[in-house]
Structure 1
Amino acid sequence: MKVERFETDYAGKKVIVEYGRLAHQADASVTVQMGETMVLATATMSDSARPGMDFFPLMVDYEERYSAVGKIKGPRFLKREGRPSNEAVLTGRMIDRGIRPLFPDGLRNEVQVIIMPLSVDGENKPDIVGMIAATIALEISSIPFDGPITGCRIGMVNGEYIINPTAEELEFSELNLMVMGDSKRITMVDCDARELDDDSMLEAFRIAMKSMDPMIKFVKKIKKKVGKEKIPHDQLKWRASFTEEDVKIMEMIKKSAKKQLDKYLFSTPKGSKGERKRIIHELEDRLIEEMKDKLKTKDRSAEEAEMYLRDLMQKFFFDFIEDQVTEAILERDQRVDGRKLDEIRPLSAEVGIIPRTHGSGLFSRGETQVLSFCTLGAPGDDLLVETMENDGKKKYFHHYNFLPFSVGEVKPIRGAGRREIGHGALAEKALLPVLPSQGEFPYTIRVVSEVMGSNGSSSMASTCGSTLALMDAGVPIRRPVAGMAMGLASDGKRWKVLTDLQDMEDGKGGMDFKFTSTSEGITAIQMDSKTAGLTMDIIKATFPQMRKAINEVLEVITKTIPEPRKELSIHAPRIISLTIDPEKIGDVIGPGGKMIRGMCEDFDVQIDVEDDGTVMITSEDMTNAHLAEKKIRSIVRTLEVGDIFEDAEVVKIMPFGAFVKLTEKIDGLLHVSELEWGHVDKVTDKVSVGDKIRVKVIAIDRGKVEVSMKALMPRPEGYQDRPRKPQRRSGPPKNRQSSSRRGPPNRGPPRSRRD
């Protein structure tokens, strides 16, 4: 196959697209290169659909490869890529949300898009390159797709917007906004920000949409040159095929149902999800009972007619109800629970409701209820993160759990899936801008959100629950963070924005536009849509309605707990922090870690030592923590003349004095003449081995330290110092003359063997 190469400039960066070099058996494949970051994307579709498939089976996989960064990673006995990292899952989910709404409604062929970084230069992020590659692969494939779209990232450094910033620029950026779409619509948003104001965020959206236009023209050029013809409608697999009789009966059911919806669904507010489900099932039963006699024939019994109707209604009735809910909103501003379009369901918040936890918060919005727990740990309890691009540690992390009972279902529990990882990450980054620095609050922080009930945006409830739990735990966050999900009712021409969407309002033509914010500005955004994309008018209309809702939630949070608690829980560990000379870190750790392990075992503490000399001692028993601190200070202490030791231990008695332990490595000589003012016959008359005494350093000479007890006592009036007697040496005195010679003593001429 001939290799086709295309080049363009994207916001000042050269983009190279190659088609025809790799993965020829995929429906379509391209490599996209920006700088030295190169990503392969493939798009493939199955010929058939799996039996019983009631949703569009799209799979988007972001496959990290360590070879792309020139490293060998992984456990010692398994040096290959295994389970996707959280970052890989999140990148795959981003691209999935951006392309999913652009496939035909009702398609049941399996579609798989695989994005694989081949080279990563550390400057150009592979996620944005992967977005571009995935959308080009779909656009030139035979798979039906309502493109073209592309991807774009917007950053902000010192108030200046940057299109597709480098990895280094992102480290200093106040904004990390990623979108997919074109100059007129946006299909996906994923954003984190440092409390950015609404106007600045809207401007970032405008810049993103404008900057994608040249790239869209470039993609059209590629499609014109190498694009395949799309597969015809009749050769694809669809959700359901209806006969003429089916269509006729469906219209009869819809006509009858519309007359009864006003009575059963819209007559009075239906506040709960269960109540609405019950009414719909009752209406369904009523319609079947009404229709089955009309369908009864010689060849079809009443029972067979009922089975036929139930099977038919399963294929279309719920979608029809969602369409009617949308129509009621567009025509009459009427929601099934009776709320106004900008009204939030009843809110409540509680803190400190679970004993022994370090912090807990319960947040409820309507039937959505989340219980969050905050646990404080030692600095060494941080989370080690290993990805294709980065290795590092996380001092704050959030885990989200969604068990089946939260929606009244019975399902096997198999651990965290892609959805749980995504929701947990969203609530995690929502709180990052308000967390204290490591210097202010050295604890490792873990927050777990347990969804107790779900009917609309449990991830935003998790953000609110996390805020409550952190404040209850005494974590000094700068400001509370609240979250809100905004919805949309639309039919292709008309649209209206909804505050706090729930079950029936999240149908075709809807959106799930999630915002987290403090009173000062936005911290995170995530959006997916069931439309062909959001226009700038829709985005602009969403912001003031969102801000009103966020402020209402913040008011509930601050009424519950106005500020973080001043004291930590009695069950939380305490940390003592000190700084030592980095040159003495080895003394604290000891050979093979013997010293630090011994202290951890002896005092039942956890000790963490940073490269800059910061030492943190964590313990639930402050007495033990202070003992460990005392020992560490003793290990690293540098002695000076005049230093006073309050409890130096006598470790050895000699005729001329005693040796006392000053630090872990240094003993001092306490001469008999320094025991007190006046004559002392025996050292043991005053001190014994094991005594703790108060001494002062009086001399340091070539590493030898002398201390005194009497220097800390009042000098008697008229006292005269006596000269200290020189220490006697054991053995005969040395011959000064012979000791000054070099080499062996002269013993005369050497003797011969014969002598």
Structure 2
Amino acid sequence: MLGIWNLNYMDKDIFSLDIGGKKLTIKTTTWTEQSSGSCLVSYGDTTVMANVVMSPKNVEGMDYFPLTVEYEEKFYAAGRIFGSRFLKRESRPTDEAILTGRMIDRAIRPRFPKDFKKEVQVVVTCLSWDGENDPDVPGLIAASFALSISQIPWHGPIGAVRVGRTNGEWIVNPSYAQRIEGNFDLTLAGIENDKKKVLVNMIEMGSKEATEEDTMQAVKLADKELKKLIDFQRDTSQKIGKVKAVFEPAVESTLDSEIRELLGDKLDKAITNAKAGEKNLGDAESLREEIIKIIKEKYPNEGKEKQVLPFFEKEMERIIVRNILEKDQRPDFRKLDEIRTLSCEVGVLPRTHGTGVFNRGLTRVLSILTLGGPSDQQVLEGMEFVGKKRFLHHYNFPPYSTGETGFYRGPKRREIGHGNLAEKALLPVIPNPEDFPYTIRIVSEVMSSNGSTSMASTCASCLALMDAGVPIKAPVAGISIGLAHDEETGKYKLLTDIQGPEDHFGDMDFKVAGTKDGITAVQMDTKIDGIPEEIFAEALKLAKVARMKILDTISKTIAEPRKELSPYAPKIVSFKINPEKIGEVVGPKGSVINKIIDECNGIAIDIEDSGFVSVTGQNQEDVAKAVSMIKDIVREIMPGEIFQGVVRKIMDFGAFVDILPGQSGLVHISKLSKDRVNKVEDIVKVGDKIPVKVVGIDDQGRINLSAVDAGFVPNKK
């Protein structure tokens, strides 16, 4: 006999508040009873579910916190069935899903205790999407609330909002339509400190050359909504949340004390007295290997040498941060606001359509640009967006860029994120398809990495765009601002153009890209609780000064886009036709358009519903021929015009004559000769070239022709 489970899947608790003029609802359910924490968050009819789980034991031998964040887009959420004829289920996550997962990760990761080594997985799933409200912000709120009500040690909650601007009006959590119309898109997450002050700990922003003042205005607008969300989650989680698991911070072990005694002041001297330059931590690394060898010999087969690395990491961080805060001394001895040596190159490869090399110290990126026709656009088929994309930026970070070996298994999430950031930074200056109908793909290859390769990719790609002759609206450059911070005293120093150790041991990575007139992209991550508005504003000012210096360097290499495209780039001619004529260009079952393609050596023809036509080919003559043929097809024939036509078909009542590609008319038997004609074949045959005159066009667009009126004198067959 089968047992029947009587489970109640009703909502347990429902809470709501107003955010941006809309109701946000949080529900706890019994759907996922075995997860550590779970909730549903709805904004409009967009609903996301977050589930968090913590492993029962620490992961041994792990020198970092094993957190994974997965964001899932489900086609059913949008009421769609996608995929090939043979595969109809979701497969690998889209780039958009990966970017959303990374955004959630960046916001929640700093709030876990230091030295926490239990594996935590956060899974955010979009269950319903209304086509108006983006699920990423509700997803971040859901992750925050699920962690807050779970037993997992986590110092939350976190608030998250999006701020947009449409027609000069600031909007909290704008709809999709408002975002498309707008020129500013900021997603921001933050926490509340002990003094009830909101600190920003994650930012993702794209804009059309926004000023620093505009950006700060948006951050201040978000502050009020963040505080509401944080207080709401805190009050609610205190009522219904589980008791937090006890986490005991690591205390210095006997081995740590032994390592400290072995080191003495050697590490301090190795870092503080290093020679100026970017590779000045070599002595520190040699010292680490020496200590590992000593510990390994003293405790053979016990694996205690594994504890040397995390100890060294903490000591190096302490010394580097102390030197910056107390002495203004950076690892490579630059001034706090000093940029490393800059240099640029363009046109470095012979057959590519455009190239740029950007060097900043030991960070070096080569960007290669390829132009294609409209048919080369990327087809996107996701939960939120179905369409095409004509500007693509891809970023590759090979192991050799850091002097290491590694696996090549396709782009990692970090590579997708960095590629998207550079793409976002450059997109506002890319010309419209009406002005430049090409598909543009840029690939940034990191040749050497020592900090901020995403911003170097932005600069190198800008060089490649101008080298290729793409008429961008303005050059774009990017810079990363770092932070050294003492949590106890609150003392801090901002660092311009952070390099490897400053990125690794510092507390903030604040990337800003833009033109001389404004900001096009911002991305900020922190390793601390967050930063106040004052530090944010100060970082924006430093980034602007640095950006102007980099733009000057770029302009000295190439001041503006080249006037001519590469001779190896495809040729494109675009023009508009009457949309009602599209069918005539295509022809029955594509017969007309395929004939044009065949006669013009395989050129590509793209026709939009609006009547916008693009003809793409490698040979200018082939493109010109195809354009002429299409224009002849859609040309408006006028009565009285005379053509040299070709007889295409003979009927008892007359002959059909082609006068232009795709356009033909009828010469009635009575119009073939002044004399009486008994049989059409007596006057003309298929393939004959004869002059004809347009004598009329009826209401259905049928063309009536006359050979007699065009001066045709037949030779009877």
Q: TM-score, normalised by structure 2?
A: 0.89
Residue identity opposite 1:255 in structure 2: G
Match of 1:640 among 619, 638, 647: 638
Residue identity opposite 1:120 in structure 2: W
Tell me whether 1:109 sits opposite 2:112 in the alignment: no
Residue identity opposite 2:375 in structure 1: G
From the superposition, tell whether residues 199 and 675 of structure 1 become closer, same or farther in structure 2 (CA, over 3 Å). Answer: farther
| Cross-structure match for 1:570 | 567
Tell me, which stretches of 5 or more residues in structure 2 are unaligned?
A: 1-7, 192-196, 675-679
C-alpha distance in structure 2 between counterparts of 1:508 and 1:11, whole Å: 37
| Cross-structure match for 2:108 | 99
Tell me the secondary structure at the aligned position of residue 388 of structure 1: coil
Assess if the C-alpha contact under 8 Å between 1:675 and 1:710 holds in 2.
no
Tell me whether 1:198 sits opposite 2:212 in the alignment: yes
C-alpha distance in structure 2 between counterparts of 1:625 and 1:65, whole Å: 43
From the superposition, tell whether residues 285 and 47 of structure 1 become closer, same or farther in structure 2 (CA, over 3 Å). Answer: closer
Tell me whether 1:227 sits opposite 2:241 in the alignment: yes
| Cross-structure match for 1:625 | 623
C-alpha distance in structure 2 between counterparts of 1:558 and 1:8, whole Å: 51
| Cross-structure match for 1:178 | 187
Tell me whether 1:129 sits opposite 2:138 in the alignment: yes
C-alpha distance in structure 2 between counterparts of 1:254 and 1:268, whole Å: 16
| Cross-structure match for 1:14 | 23
| Cross-structure match for 1:54 | 63
How many residue pairs are counted as aligned between the two chains? Answer: 690
C-alpha distance in structure 2 between counterparts of 1:140 and 1:412, whole Å: 39
From the superposition, tell whether residues 675 and 323 of structure 1 become closer, same or farther in structure 2 (CA, over 3 Å). Answer: farther
Assess if the C-alpha contact under 8 Å between 1:670 and 1:708 holds in 2.
no
Assess if the C-alpha contact under 8 Å between 2:67 and 2:109 holds in 1.
yes
Tell me the secondary structure at the aligned position of residue 625 of structure 1: helix
| Cross-structure match for 1:591 | 588
| Cross-structure match for 1:279 | 283
| Cross-structure match for 1:360 | 355
Match of 1:468 among 463, 471, 475: 463
What does 1:489-638 correspond to in 2, within 5 Å? Answer: 489-492=484-487, 493-603=490-600, 604-638=602-636
C-alpha distance in structure 2 between counterparts of 1:338 and 1:229, whole Å: 48
What does 1:436-451 correspond to in 2, within 5 Å? Answer: 436-451=431-446
Tell me whether 1:25 sits opposite 2:24 in the alignment: no
C-alpha distance in structure 2 between counterparts of 1:247 and 1:305, whole Å: 17
1:510 CA drift (Å): 1.4
Residue identity opposite 2:314 in structure 1: D
Match of 2:225 among 211, 230, 244: 211
1:700 CA drift (Å): 5.3
1:650 CA drift (Å): 6.2
Assess if the C-alpha contact under 8 Å between 1:660 and 1:670 holds in 2.
no
Tell me whether 1:393 sits opposite 2:388 in the alignment: yes
1:694 CA drift (Å): 7.2
What does 1:687-706 correspond to in 2, within 5 Å? Answer: 697=694, 703=702, 705-706=704-705
- RMSD of aligned Cα (Å): 3.2
1:43 CA drift (Å): 1.2
Stretch moving more, 700-709 or 247-256: 700-709
Residues 347-397 of structure 1: CA deviation (Å, up to 9, x unaligned):
111111111111111111111111111111111111011111121110111
C-alpha distance in structure 2 between counterparts of 1:575 and 1:230, whole Å: 63
1:79 CA drift (Å): 1.3
From the superposition, tell whether residues 372 and 704 of structure 1 become closer, same or farther in structure 2 (CA, over 3 Å). Answer: closer
Residues 598-656 of structure 1: CA deviation (Å, up to 9, x unaligned):
322331200111101122110111111122222222333332123354x64466999x9
1:269 CA drift (Å): 3.9
Assess if the C-alpha contact under 8 Å between 2:271 and 2:281 holds in 1.
no
C-alpha distance in structure 1 between counterparts of 2:562 and 2:670, whole Å: 56
Residues 186-236 of structure 1: CA deviation (Å, up to 9, x unaligned):
1111111111001110111122122211111111111121111111124xx
C-alpha distance in structure 2 between counterparts of 1:478 and 1:649, whole Å: 49
Residues 228-282 of structure 1: CA deviation (Å, up to 9, x unaligned):
1111124xxx8x7753x22432432453225xx34x333354423xx33422123
| Cross-structure match for 1:409 | 404
Residues 412-433 of structure 1: CA deviation (Å, up to 9, x unaligned):
1001111111111111111111
Stretch moving more, 627-636 or 376-385: 627-636
Tell me whether 1:265 sits opposite 2:271 in the alignment: yes
1:62 CA drift (Å): 0.7
| Cross-structure match for 1:733 | none
Tell me whether 1:424 sits opposite 2:438 in the alignment: no
Tell me whether 1:332 sits opposite 2:327 in the alignment: yes
Assess if the C-alpha contact under 8 Å between 1:607 and 1:618 holds in 2.
yes
Assess if the C-alpha contact under 8 Å between 1:185 and 1:533 holds in 2.
yes
**Identity of counterpart residues, as a percentage?**
44
From the superposition, tell whether residues 20 and 696 of structure 1 become closer, same or farther in structure 2 (CA, over 3 Å). Answer: closer
C-alpha distance in structure 2 between counterparts of 1:626 and 1:687, whole Å: 32
C-alpha distance in structure 1 between counterparts of 2:216 and 2:630, whole Å: 54
Tell me the secondary structure at the aligned position of residue 608 of structure 1: strand
Tell me the secondary structure at the aligned position of residue 337 of structure 2: coil
From the superposition, tell whether residues 507 and 491 of structure 1 become closer, same or farther in structure 2 (CA, over 3 Å). Answer: farther
Match of 2:336 among 338, 341, 358: 341
1:284 CA drift (Å): 3.2
Residue identity opposite 1:10 in structure 2: I
| Cross-structure match for 2:201 | 187
Tell me whether 1:381 sits opposite 2:376 in the alignment: yes
C-alpha distance in structure 2 between counterparts of 1:219 and 1:411, whole Å: 42
User: Higher Cα Rg: structure 1 or 2?
Assistant: 1
C-alpha distance in structure 1 between counterparts of 2:382 and 2:23, whole Å: 26
Tell me the secondary structure at the aligned position of residue 339 of structure 1: coil
Assess if the C-alpha contact under 8 Å between 2:354 and 2:468 holds in 1.
yes
Assess if the C-alpha contact under 8 Å between 1:288 and 1:306 holds in 2.
no
Assess if the C-alpha contact under 8 Å between 2:366 and 2:446 holds in 1.
yes
| Cross-structure match for 2:194 | none
1:113 CA drift (Å): 0.8
From the superposition, tell whether residues 380 and 311 of structure 1 become closer, same or farther in structure 2 (CA, over 3 Å). Answer: closer
Tell me whether 1:453 sits opposite 2:435 in the alignment: no
What does 1:78-89 correspond to in 2, within 5 Å? Answer: 78-89=87-98
Residue identity opposite 2:26 in structure 1: V
C-alpha distance in structure 1 between counterparts of 2:204 and 2:77, whole Å: 25
From the superposition, tell whether residues 701 and 613 of structure 1 become closer, same or farther in structure 2 (CA, over 3 Å). Answer: closer
Residues 295-316 of structure 1: CA deviation (Å, up to 9, x unaligned):
9xxxxx9654899884442231
Assess if the C-alpha contact under 8 Å between 2:691 and 2:710 holds in 1.
no
Assess if the C-alpha contact under 8 Å between 2:484 and 2:506 holds in 1.
yes
Residue identity opposite 1:439 in structure 2: E
Tell me, which stretches of 5 or more residues in structure 1 are unaligned?
A: 296-300, 677-682, 714-723, 731-755
Tell me the secondary structure at the aligned position of residue 405 of structure 1: helix
Residue identity opposite 1:211 in structure 2: E
| Cross-structure match for 1:662 | 659
C-alpha distance in structure 2 between counterparts of 1:144 and 1:39, whole Å: 23
1:176 CA drift (Å): 0.9
1:103 CA drift (Å): 0.5
1:659 CA drift (Å): 7.4
Residue identity opposite 2:236 in structure 1: I
C-alpha distance in structure 2 between counterparts of 1:196 and 1:644, whole Å: 58
C-alpha distance in structure 1 between counterparts of 2:46 and 2:318, whole Å: 45
Assess if the C-alpha contact under 8 Å between 2:690 and 2:707 holds in 1.
no
Assess if the C-alpha contact under 8 Å between 1:609 and 1:616 holds in 2.
yes
